[in-house]
Amino acid sequence: MRNLRYTFRYSFILFILTILLISCGKEVDFVPDSSFIKIFNDEYFESAYIPMDIVQAGDSGYFILSAYDTWYTYILRVDENGEFMWDYKLEDTYVNPIKGLYYKDNAFYFFCMDDLSLGTYLMKATDQSKAAEVEKVYADIIYPLHSSAVSDGFLLESYNRESYSTRLTKLGADFSSAWHEEYGVEEDIEESIIGHLTRIGDRLPFFTGQAGNKYFLNGYYNYSMSMLFVNVNDGQQTGVINGFRDKSAISSAQYINGNSFALSRFSFDENIIIPRIDINTSSIGISSDIEGNEHPEMTPNATVYTEILNVNGKEIILYATSTKAGQILLYAYDALNGKLIGTHHLGRINPYEAVDFVTTSDGGLLILGNTFVNGRFSRITLIKMSEKELIEFAY
């Protein structure tokens, strides 16, 4: 197996960073140990890598889950400075790695799919094995789409081609199945699901999460991409925000507190950010009725990642997305009142796309992204912002 290696060294990194990292037009001092950019290259240009998720392994670096060559599965391990440690390409049987990556008991866990049966695997990887092995098999869960951690376990969203339903499965802390519920789709959308998974069609905003004593999921329901709210005990639906087909829908959601959420949505190529809004999770609503601020610089129907971060003792809502100009774009909002604090653009030479972000043990921010070397070759990239940069941008 061939390994990926990052293409930049620190001296070159610092030079590039002075060009790439621009925040509100101010000069920024970069410290080698706290700011960097890494691009993990492959000597075989025909290969394409599409990062999916990143998780921190305590103080010992990060684990990155990626698809390669459309929907095959690849894992990459790096240390706290983004230095390559090891990598592994799974056999072609294991396809469609989905967002939802977990570090538990010194091991990494993630879900993927069997290429023939379409059933779901829970995979386990460790620094000792430097590989991924099957931990559990969920033969009855086909077309896995998204997973997330909740207070007492995990959620797994999938699509049941036989019943024409979006399915939500609640897993316990040991990944054993607790219950599942299905939500009917009134037409066959399997072609759209396949297009999403293989990346020959539109990428769709599947996600799951917890809001107090309810769970939520974004997926197909009735005729449209919709955000559903369900009971935590059995998955029974209590409310919904309906989209319009797959042309208008919620694109990201972060629960804040009480009835408050931070949302984003798209509608026929327009992108709207709603940094704070109260939602009745027992009612029926329409996504296009939710007012917010339009952001024409974002890519049409943009993929958006939203989380609440604590920056120097202050809670912010951080949105990460991509621009039409090929840059990663960060928006920071005050979590208390939803007011915009700052914006930050990353990337100039190669086009970049935002994938996810995590806070670091030294108070900084590590952004996982996708870049295109020479404008063509899709590669994994890591961009580290120091604590100082993050505070200047988002405080």
Q: Tell me the per-residue pLDDT of 193-251, one tens digit each, with 9 for 90 and over.
A: 999 999 888 899 999 999 999 999 999 999 999 999 999 999 999 999 999 999 999 99
Number of other residues whose CB lies within 10 A of the CB of residue 119: 16
User: Tokens in use for 124?
Assistant: 């386990």
Residue 15 pLDDT level (bands cut at 50, 70, 90) = very low
**How do strand 284-286 and strand 237-242 relate by DSSP bridges?**
parallel
Model-level pTM?
0.89
The confidence score (pLDDT) of residue 58 equals 78
At residue 129, the pLDDT reads 96
Residue 239, domain member (yes or no): yes
Condensed to tens digits (0 to 9), the pLDDT of residues 238-248 reads: 999 999 999 99
Q: How confident is the model at residue 166 (pLDDT cuts 50, 70, 90)?
A: very high
- In the chain, the amino acid numbered 361 is S
pLDDT of residue 33: 57
Interval 348-371 mean pLDDT: 92
Tokens for 282? 């027992």
Is 103 part of a structural domain of the chain? no
Residue 195 belongs to a domain: yes
Q: Residue 350 has what pLDDT?
A: 83
**How many domains, in total, are found in the chain?**
1
Q: What is the pLDDT of residue 348?
A: 75
Q: What residues pair up with 242 in beta bridges, in sequence order? A: 286
Domain of residue 152 covers 143-302
Confidence check: pLDDT of 369 > 80: yes
Percent of the chain with pLDDT over 70: 91
| C-alpha span between 127 and 129 (Å, rounded) | 6
- 123, part of any domain: no
Residue that the structure tokens 């806070």 belong to: 359
Q: What is the pLDDT of residue 41?
A: 86
| CATH, residue 151 | 2.40.128.630
In a domain, 71, yes or no: no
User: Quick one: which of 384, 321, 344 has its CA closest to 37?
Assistant: 384
> Cα(81)–Cα(214) distance, rounded to whole angstroms?
38
Which of the 8 DSSP states describes residue 50? E
Provide the percentage of residues in the chain whose pLDDT is more than 90.
83
Give the pLDDT of residue 43: 73
Say whether 378 sits in a helix, a strand or coil. Answer: strand
Q: Is the pLDDT score of 19 beyond 90?
A: no
- Residue 254 maps to a domain: yes
pLDDT of residue 46: 75
In a domain, 117, yes or no: no
| Domain assignment present for 286 | yes
Interval 291-349: pLDDT, tens? 999 999 999 999 999 999 999 999 999 999 999 999 999 999 999 999 999 999 998 77
Mean pLDDT across the chain, nearest whole number? 90
Q: What is the mean pLDDT of residues 267-274?
A: 94
